Amino acid sequence: MSMDGRGTSALDRLRARYDQEARVCPECGFEDEAGSWRVQTTGSRVYYRHLCPSCGSRSTRVLRLGGSRDDE
């Protein structure tokens, strides 16, 4: 993936930004330097998930697409 933003989609660039953030687990404090965010889409939402390799805690960020709001 190109880090300068060319040749990638907006969703790829957002994942790259999440990957550059410090990945410190809010539950156990483990810093996952080698981990990355997994991406899944349902069409109306994009889910970015990171699983802590130490304790298994999951961090999730949701991007809603379109004009309607649907809370989970």
Q: Is the pTM of this model over 0.85?
A: no
Residue 36 lies in a domain: yes
Residue 56's identity, in one-letter code, is: G
**Sign (positive/negative) of CA torsion 53, 58, 59, 64?**
positive
- The rounded Cα 20 to chain-centroid distance in angstroms is 10
Query: How many structural domains are present in the chain?
Result: 1
Is 16 contained in some domain?
yes
Residue 54: the pLDDT is: 95
CATH number reported for the structural domain that contains residue 15 in this entry: 2.20.25
Distance CA 47, CA 41 (A): 6
Tokens of 69: 């709001």
| Digit-coded pLDDT (tens) for 4-60 | 556 588 888 888 888 877 678 889 999 988 888 888 999 899 999 999 999 999 989
The answer as to whether 3 is a domain residue is: no
